[in-house]
Chain A
Amino acid sequence: MGELVVDKHVKYILSVEKRKDSFESVVLEHLRMNGAYWGLATLDLLGKLDALDSNEVIEWIMKCQHESGGFAGNIGHDPHMLYTLSAVQVLALFDKLNVLDADKVANYISGLQNEDGSFSGDEWGEVDSRFSYLAICCLSILHRLDKINMEKAVNYIASCKNVDGGFGCTPGGESHAGQIFCCVGALAITGSLHHVDKDLLGWWLCERQVKSGGLNGRPEKLPDVCYSWWVLSSLIMIDRVHWINKDKLVKFILNCQDTENGGISDRPEDAVDVYHTYFGVAGLSLLEYPGLKAIDPAHALPVDVVNRIFFQK
């Protein structure tokens, strides 16, 4: 199995930025803000955030902000809640939230809340419980949750709950581990986990662990390293993580490493990317793998960053 090849992963993340000429990196240009969050959060969990020039990153982030207050996935693209949270999270990593006009960002987000409590992802009106999480997490980090109707927001998320205990994109949508993370995370941040049937959801989530030790995102699907985050963090927030076998999952994640060139893939022997590298490392952090910083399961930032935000005003 081997160990976590920390130095190689750091090298891999730093190199991704430089490999701009591959087709894959051009295809993903519009979500570079997410990529920045995945890469930088990984570096921080590995204790290597200082390997990068933060000023350069922050300057670029601020160039992605629009007049509305929202952030785009990259310079020239349109603002969206998906990238607004990533931008705020990266600034939080660097302890540079003060460069933001927090009210302006909060106004952008609160302006996207709909009458029924749900959130649109941007001005075009797509509604999804993922956006409820993005809004709530972002406002929580900015200490601006009072800007939205929290009761309605929580009730909308509760209306996405299914008879299997999980949550879907909209009321009636099928349960999916990523969606469950969003809904459970939003309920956690708003002190509303009483809306979750912890035993029912806990059983559904723990049955995501397949024979190889990896986790899948829905019944009868293949395991994937990214669910080490979506499923694990949800299990932790509802205090049911002991219902899976942690050692087998650690093994599965470590087996997905590219031990030569760094990076982590979805399954063993597949091509690596930043997304799976982050979710693999974050998963290991949730599994208390030695040498990694602890990560907060709801705000998806290192615990020391979250504690700095909430307990050192």
Chain B
Amino acid sequence: MMMLDSIDELLSHIKEVQSDVIELSNESLMKMSNYMEKNELEIDEEIATALQYQDIITQQLSATIEAIESMQKSIEVFSHAYKNDESLVSQNMNKLKEKLSATLQEAKDKKSRFSGKITDETIDDEIEFF
């Protein structure tokens, strides 16, 4: 159980670091865009892309924070069940493994969904009208 406590602490730390990175990244980009707006600088394709990468970084990190929170909940449920009945440990271990695998799969899916055109070079700039 001590091992699970250490994992939980490590996950909390990663979550905290990611939240700080999101905040700093947002602040950095807002300062840059405020400067550009104040000086009425024209935005070109490269700058627009750079600004939007920040949005994608935030979404990616937020999705991993959600995955971490879900994993922490699963670990908490497992630890609670273990404390109540040690005979159920094997059964609960399997349930924990299933939940962690499902969370990981969902996180991987979100990584792909929140990447936009960055990871798929087949998507061009053409806007799709219905």
Partners in one complex: no
Q: Which residues from chain B sit less than 8 Å from chain A, CB to CB? A: none
Q: Which residues of A are interface residues toward B (Cβ below 8 A)? A: none
